[in-house]
Amino acid sequence: MSIKSVKRFILFFSTALFFNSSFAQIKDELGSIHGNFQIDAAYYQKDTIIGADPGSELFRYNAFGNINYSKGGFSAGVRYESYNPPLIGYLPGYKGSGVPYRFARYKHKDIDITVGNFYEQFGSGITLRAYENRGLLYDNALDGMRVIFTPKNGITLKGLVGKQRTYFSLSPGVVRGIDGEVNIMDLFDSILGQSKTKVILGGSFVSKYQQDQDPSLVLPENVGTSAGRFTVIRGGFNFNAEYAYKINDPSYQNQFSYKEGQALIASTSYGTNGFSIMFSGKMLDNMSFRSDRNATNTIDMINYQPDFSKFHTYSLMAYYPYATQPNGEVGGSGEIQYKVKKGTWLGGKYGMDITLNGSAYYALDTTGIDPRKDSVKHVKYTTNYGNVGNEYYHDFNIEITKKFTKKLKMTLMYANQFLNQSIVQFSTRDKEEHPDVYANIGVLDITWKYKSNSAIRFETQGYFGTYDYKDAKYHSNGEVNKTNNTGSWVSELIEWTPTTHWSITIADQYNYDNPIIEKRIHYYYGMIGYVNGPTRVSVSYGRQRQGIFCAGGVCRFVPASSGLSISISSSF
């Protein structure tokens, strides 16, 4: 793509967006129309130093637009999406264009009916969670019908049936579900209704149907998951827990095990002025639940197995992110936030925020069953719930944010992380090529607001990794195999915001300590951003390192990429 065509491209989309903005919020007796648009496009180039080879399709984009109409209790909407082809790193099955989401909804008094596509969540989502995450290009919207019935204040009943979105088509399985929730205190108008303690009880049942076409196995065509939950709230205190049970559900994900699935999820929190504390715990065993038993990647998931680990925004803190192990795990997380008061020795003039966060996850303690003794039931393994297995991951971190003067603010962060790379990323116990990783990571982030509406932000990060080579493979020359070891990294970033509209960012990630000298590479990156009301435009140029993305026994290699990216979004 020539510079001229890039210019034309930017002009076209900018004009289109400003044109739309001029119609902002058409509100009159005809109802109101809202919408939003986004396009992320990239023009890739070959970069032999980082091993980026985009092939012949150099221009790729992810684009979508929502248009919703509402009047009184009626609403309807459509979403158009286009990926020809999708950006590097996204599932290629999304290639194409279409309208995968359209709905009509009507609410009147105690009844709320939706036909077409909808998103829904029952409880924590362990039995059903239909949602979208546009950043990950995850969308398991249901296409069918949903009824929400509120017969009395404090009682909500939901029933739904539909098929899940699978790229631009639908899953072969049908999902049926019901959910009921009762807020005990709201039912009573008497003294109990004015109680400071609130108790909410809920239960759900979700079943899927998929035809058995397998000539060599008897597969359950109807598979059900049921769950019960409760929440207690009093003042700043909150406790909630949910238990779920799934019947035999052989699938590609669990290697066609007929074992039942179980989950126990609980969390509690307490918050008061300047202080909060939170703990969450979970035990998940064979709870992957999909509407297509042969689905892989993140396709056709009916439920959501929660992840309580901290979502890091600093790039090197998230160098090895953790994802819930779909076949089972046990663990938890905790967080304490404390605001040091103004005027104290530590707090100074503006106070200081301290956050302590930690999470750790372990394998279930499982024992494989001898296939000769398991030829009828195909259960494959048993679980000892009284114990835990090997460690998968931990992340202990502290974050301190302090404002020194009106102009100067600083964030300091430290983390200690461990990753059982072979299991979590490659689903194998083989540590020959995938050694355990231990890392200490530090971040210093300083923002200097040199005048009103203008600031410069400096960010420096260091990732100091060590690898456990006790099970590593040795080459014939006696040297240890370090194929998947990238050693340590540093990252520097400067972000200049001269006005509230514009920002310029320059960044570099440097793999200074890669054991292979040729791989000690700079991953540079530059971006210019423009924001005006709801409209955001950014143009960036740089390198993205390669990575492996695994979900349940299927690993997808996300190749390194290099090139020019443009992102435009707006809403009205």
Q: Which of 50, 76, 137, 223 binds another protein (CB under 8 A)?
A: 223
Tell me the number of residues near another protein by CB under 8 A: 73
Q: Which stretch binds another protein (CB under 8 A): 15-23, 149-157, 519-527, 529-537?
A: 149-157
Q: Which is nearer to another protein, 234 or 429 (CB)?
A: 429
Minimum Å gap between C-beta 488 and another protein is 23
Per CB under 8 A, 566 contacts another protein? no
Q: Which of 47, 186, 468, 471 binds another protein (CB under 8 A)?
A: 471
DSSP code string of 90-136: S-GGG-EEEEEEEEEEEEETTEEEEEEEE-EEETTTTSEEE-EETTT
Instruction: Classify residue 492 as left (phi > 0), alpha (psi -120 to 50) or beta.
Output: beta
CB environment 155-194: b (16+ within 10 A), e (fewer): ebebebbbbbbbbeebbbbbbbbbbbbbbbbeeeeeeeee
Per CB under 8 A, 390 contacts another protein? no
Provide the 8-state DSSP code for 481: P
Q: Which of 299, 302, 424, 439 binds another protein (CB under 8 A)?
A: 299
Site string for another protein, 521-560 (x = CB under 8 A): --------------------------------xxxxx-x-
Minimum Å gap between C-beta 122 and another protein is 13
Q: Which is nearer to another protein, 136 or 217 (CB)?
A: 217
For 247, other C-beta atoms within 10 Å of its C-beta total 14
Q: Which stretch binds another protein (CB under 8 A): 70-78, 126-134, 429-437, 562-570?
A: 429-437
Q: Which of 34, 378, 449, 520 binds another protein (CB under 8 A)?
A: 378
Q: Which stretch binds another protein (CB under 8 A): 19-27, 68-76, 229-237, 371-379?
A: 371-379
State the Cα–Cα distance between residues 261 and 240, nearest whole angstrom. Answer: 21
User: For residue 432, what are the contacts with CB-CB under 8 A and spacing of at least 6?
Assistant: 471, 472, 473, 481
DSSP code string of 532-561: ETTEEEEEEEEEE--EEEEETTEEEEE--E
Q: Which of 59, 243, 252, 510 binds another protein (CB under 8 A)?
A: 252
Q: Which stretch binds another protein (CB under 8 A): 12-20, 250-258, 272-280, 502-510?
A: 250-258
Asked if residues 76 and 19 have their Cβ atoms less than 8 Å apart, the reply is no
Q: Which of 68, 297, 447, 466 binds another protein (CB under 8 A)?
A: 297
Size (the chain), residues: 572
Tokens of 38: 């986004």
Q: Which of 31, 35, 224, 228 binds another protein (CB under 8 A)?
A: 224
Q: Which is nearer to another protein, 149 or 438 (CB)?
A: 149
Q: Which of 8, 11, 92, 516 binds another protein (CB under 8 A)?
A: 92
Task: List for the chain the helix, strand, coil content (%; round to 5).
Answer: 5, 55, 35
Residues 29-58 that bind another protein (CB under 8 A): 55-56
Per CB under 8 A, 178 contacts another protein? yes
Provide the 8-state DSSP code for 179: E
Residues 190-209 that bind another protein (CB under 8 A): 203, 205, 207
Minimum Å gap between C-beta 439 and another protein is 23
Asked if residues 84 and 96 have their Cβ atoms less than 8 Å apart, the reply is yes
Minimum Å gap between C-beta 506 and another protein is 31
Per CB under 8 A, 171 contacts another protein? yes
Q: Which of 167, 458, 524, 530 binds another protein (CB under 8 A)?
A: 167
Q: Which is nearer to another protein, 11 or 136 (CB)?
A: 136
State the Cα–Cα distance between residues 435 and 229, nearest whole angstrom. Answer: 39
Residue type present at position 85: P
Per CB under 8 A, 110 contacts another protein? no
State the Cα–Cα distance between residues 320 and 309, nearest whole angstrom. Answer: 12
Q: Which is nearer to another protein, 32 or 222 (CB)?
A: 222
Pairing of strands 561-571, 169-170: unpaired
C-alpha distances in Å from residue 358, one per residue of 69, 197, 272, 361: 44, 29, 21, 11
